[in-house]
A and B are shown apart, each in its own frame.
Chain A
């Protein structure tokens, strides 16, 4: 089972910040939080990941709470092309390798 909880859908006006929440209350100390998004008919696209500290790259910012039980992905100026399903994932380390366990994600709809 996925170890994260996300709202099923969110709306955002174009040009505004989109803040996507994720709960991961059972996260372990060495597990990273990853964010991916999937635009219709394409494969998932990596956005950002973090362990404890807040992270920022050219696509987004990731804010992780101090207790690491939740995080927020921030798209600072959402555009119509950011309409997608966003997945928050805790990285599970298998015995022989690593795999991502995807939940159902949040469908973000950006409108003008």
Chain B
């Protein structure tokens, strides 16, 4: 089975801190994604990557950056965390085949105080 592992299940950070959310997949998938999920707003795409060192903005990239130095790892970075970035963050991966399904991790619940 595909496994997408997010490094932390729960995280509490202070306003202004730099925050790293890590995601690792074990199936040699080319594409990786970061979403955030908020009540009433559903899942929204922040960034995705289709290859090492490649990245594309999603619908809500402001306040975030990403890093993909290795194929299996995709990091989401909050340069200066703010309270409106309190959310559930979900990582996903898939192969480059067009109709292959996404596989999600179990999420990181980030609270910024």
Contacts and interface: CB of A to CB of B under 8 A. Distances in A.
Contact of A96 (B56, B102, B106): B56
16 contacts: A32-B99, A43-B105, A44-B43, A46-B101, A46-B102, A49-B99, A91-B99, A96-B56, A97-B48, A97-B56, A98-B31, A98-B94, A100-B92, A100-B102, A103-B42, A104-B42
Interface string B44-58: 110011100010101
A interface majority secondary structure? loop
Nearest to A47: B101
A99 B107 contact: no
B47 to A, nearest CB: 10
A38 to B, nearest CB: 9
B interface majority secondary structure? strand
B13 interface: no
B74 interface: no
Interface string B71-113: 0000000000000000000101010001101111111000000
